[in-house]
Structure 1
């Protein structure tokens, strides 16, 4: 008989479980609400409209889904969908957006920020210019460059602060500690040491903290700053910048695809701002003869590199898997463990070690074989070196995949083929290979897509070289992704807008090639 008191025992447990769930829900929704209230004003201040919409959509979705007992399936789908959007879809949208702009060196901020930088960099010190005791704080770390100047006026001891984006303002009481006329501690920030200020001096010297429309504060040594007069002053009504010493007026004019402040004599200021340039970046990619030729050459070599890497690693991995699949071979586990060693070495370490192997004078390959080949000086030898190194790094993966696929093939099919009189080659070619490809074809497509964008294999081994004379955009071994990197961070200055356009074109090419490969891979689905 079932005890009559069983329901009474379950009731307290169910109630306590319900209370715990309710408390967890309240904590979750409270945390989401608190984060939203805190971060929304920050994003509005930074004008980050895209991320603001993501945050608001996520907050509304969490409250709608987890604030009620309805939408049970959506409660499980939402987390994965959210992270997919944040880490995949939003970056794609941002990249596409940048591809229609002139975003890059000299044009990274708004027009207001560009004007502030132009006028701020023109600050000159006069004989009677006020000076301040300086302390530099790095709120987000010195490497990010989010520097804040904390200034103490020796005349009255007042403390002020400001940065490249925030004008000079009084410091709230209790935020900064002043000792011997200098700020020595700041709540929520780290003060840079004199040595750190010296290391970042060139960057700090470019910062001008605006006091008013005519004056700004700039660095003067590691522990002082001065308040100077702006030689270049902006007239908001006329939208012009005037040089107060020469009287020359700079007006907004379009130069190429971007707007700049240009004088009557045609002198252009280097600072611009982010602007919409339409399809100009894509037109430059496909109409500029030199760039179009480099893009085509890089695309062809990328196809050869990706297909060669996949093909060579698959053949070697398949052959080794076949050999070690023979049960008559002794020590198979030991051999398999040895063959997996390249896969256990971190890729960046392996690439750096292999780059030393190819040294013309002291490299292991030339010394062992008695050769004197300039591996990284000849375009064809450099490409061969890249394929050889990628083969060594990639065949263990194919070996693992093929070993698992071979072990999954029913042995009775192989016995039936032997009874029918098939030779070993015929069994391998007509039975094992088709059945194995059914399992590994999607992995081959994924491997092709990976190698199509295998930046490390190029950058860490050859650096994209060898480069032709007076050419820095693309080297002989540069694939599309490393060419994009060189465009974005090249020696001539970063051009993120154009690099984003090339990235979008690369994304479309990769997707189209993957779709074609999957279409051909469907043919294998008919193999039994």
Structure 2
């Protein structure tokens, strides 16, 4: 057998086997057409079938929305996956491609989308296109006028009665036809699919859940706010059982590119730079549209006194919080690790179990407990020490409180990694320094600490990056407060990430464009600090290697 494999004609007699590379015995061969096992074939068929199913499922919405570029990317990606996994070639790519796709989908694309949003005015009042804004302006100005058609109304949802999309089921008093209406408009339903009670009220409809009085009352605000566009104006509810088709008093005029109010005679002209309809006196309609504003969000963030002042104050505290949280936890964790590393210490296993308890607890639960412990009236901290400090009522006491909470939550992690690093340091080095006459402090400073920093610097950098964006530590304790009376959007303990969250989802209205600009700023800061720190870490490794 070995003679046949190593003979000069073996490559011709066994075309599936190839000679080994240089430096290897001629008897070594690499098989490149080995048959796939039955289980492997089943797994491949199932996975590729799932890929095809997901591609088909995603293709229809893309085609319906006329997103041709996205559809092309989907088709090319699917074809590449099928080609790659149905051929025996490109073995490395079979392993690299799935990770690359997930990296693009969950890392690169979100970053690019956030960056693109930072250059727009996207937010409340500026979410859709100009046509969407015109429809919203006209629909919101609908009023009932004498002679308006009234309809029998049933409130329904598509799906769950408490959370499903709201739909009006209306019956035309003249024809008896039943239509379903939502923000997209009216669509007539087949008579065979609905059940209509005497008086014209719909009691059942295929595909819809008709709400009873109690269910509808619980969503009364949504019912009142729902406006259904029609050819003659818009449909709005008048209670829970009647609806009327009103007339819009504000209409869009293409000639002047403006909106005119038929009652007051006021005119609002379109301003493409801001994505708003603006009157001569500067008044803007609340409904606008999404436009590109260039660097406005970034310049406003840095130059507007109402934003830049709180922003830079928050930035300084953010650095203090990130450095303080990382540095204090490292110092305490390292000190405990050094104490337990001493050969004279007894019961170290018990101490280690007790010391890592904070690390074993869910952090969000511990943050809520610490928030109650700092309560001014009944908190454990004040009662235990006989204090009357309003911890979360003053800026500096609130900052000290959150740093103390971070110290308690973070030191077990630093203790664990420092313990591992200490155990990796050869004892001969410290013993040699002692023989040379170095004191314990000199030995620690000259030998132990530099070697610890070489091992732990990447972890300290990662810890700083985590704490720089540690939204849980602030949001679950102080919620960014305390707040100044003249600035309810930016608190004394706010980090940039909590400030961004409040901009994006705050009660005063979402500003996604500004929030995205702050996010880009955060990304740049963390990336710069990390790059500089890693560069210094490599220099340390070169010195001590």
Same fold (TM over 0.5): yes
Deviations 1:258-280 (A, max 9, x none): 13224466543211010111111
Distance 1:317-1:223 versus aligned 2 partners, 3 A rule: farther
Equivalent residue, structure 2, for 1:135: 155
Q: Tell me if the contact between 2:150 and 2:173 (Cα under 8 Å) persists in the aligned partners.
A: no
Distance 1:359-1:246 versus aligned 2 partners, 3 A rule: closer
| Matching of residue 101 in structure 1 with residue 120 in structure 2 | yes
**1:324 Cα deviation from its structure 2 partner:** 1.7
Deviations 1:399-439 (A, max 9, x none): 11111212222333334344444433233322222222222
Distance 1:227-1:67 versus aligned 2 partners, 3 A rule: farther
Q: Tell me if the contact between 2:322 and 2:467 (Cα under 8 Å) persists in the aligned partners.
A: yes
Secondary structure in structure 2 of the residue aligned to 1:178: strand
Give matches, 1:279-318, under 5 Å. Answer: 279-318=295-334
Q: Tell me if the contact between 2:319 and 2:468 (Cα under 8 Å) persists in the aligned partners.
A: yes
Counterparts of 2:381 and 2:203 in 1: how far apart (Å)? 60
Counterparts of 2:269 and 2:282 in 1: how far apart (Å)? 10
Q: Tell me if the contact between 2:161 and 2:211 (Cα under 8 Å) persists in the aligned partners.
A: no
Q: Tell me if the contact between 1:137 and 1:150 (Cα under 8 Å) persists in the aligned partners.
A: no
Counterparts of 1:51 and 1:197 in 2: how far apart (Å)? 39
After the TM superposition, which of the residue ranges 199-208 and 342-351 deviates more from structure 2? 199-208
| Matching of residue 261 in structure 1 with residue 277 in structure 2 | yes
2:170 to 141, 151, 157: 151
Counterparts of 1:430 and 1:421 in 2: how far apart (Å)? 13
2:352 to 336, 340, 346: 336
Secondary structure in structure 1 of the residue aligned to 2:133: helix
Secondary structure in structure 1 of the residue aligned to 2:154: strand
Q: Tell me if the contact between 2:62 and 2:71 (Cα under 8 Å) persists in the aligned partners.
A: yes
| Matching of residue 230 in structure 1 with residue 248 in structure 2 | yes
Equivalent residue, structure 2, for 1:366: 382
Structure 2 stretches lacking a partner, 5+ long: 3-32
* Largest Rg, 1 or 2: 2
**1:113 Cα deviation from its structure 2 partner:** 1.3
Distance 1:355-1:507 versus aligned 2 partners, 3 A rule: same
Equivalent residue, structure 2, for 1:9: none
Distance 1:64-1:15 versus aligned 2 partners, 3 A rule: closer
After the TM superposition, which of the residue ranges 106-115 and 329-338 deviates more from structure 2? 329-338
Counterparts of 2:440 and 2:212 in 1: how far apart (Å)? 74
Counterparts of 1:258 and 1:44 in 2: how far apart (Å)? 31
Counterparts of 2:339 and 2:489 in 1: how far apart (Å)? 45
Equivalent residue, structure 2, for 1:113: 132
Q: Tell me if the contact between 1:139 and 1:148 (Cα under 8 Å) persists in the aligned partners.
A: no
**1:155 Cα deviation from its structure 2 partner:** 5.2
Counterparts of 1:238 and 1:140 in 2: how far apart (Å)? 45
Equivalent residue, structure 2, for 1:8: none
After the TM superposition, which of the residue ranges 453-462 and 98-107 deviates more from structure 2? 453-462
After the TM superposition, which of the residue ranges 462-471 and 18-27 deviates more from structure 2? 18-27
Distance 1:407-1:50 versus aligned 2 partners, 3 A rule: farther
Counterparts of 1:65 and 1:133 in 2: how far apart (Å)? 56
**1:19 Cα deviation from its structure 2 partner:** 5.7
Deviations 1:275-307 (A, max 9, x none): 111111111112213322222211111111111
Counterparts of 1:149 and 1:194 in 2: how far apart (Å)? 14
Structure 1 stretches lacking a partner, 5+ long: 3-13
Distance 1:269-1:153 versus aligned 2 partners, 3 A rule: same
Secondary structure in structure 1 of the residue aligned to 2:378: coil
Counterparts of 1:401 and 1:92 in 2: how far apart (Å)? 31
Deviations 1:455-497 (A, max 9, x none): 1111221121222221122211112111222222334322111
Counterparts of 2:316 and 2:243 in 1: how far apart (Å)? 55
Equivalent residue, structure 2, for 1:348: 364
Secondary structure in structure 2 of the residue aligned to 1:203: helix
Equivalent pairs counted in the alignment come to 511
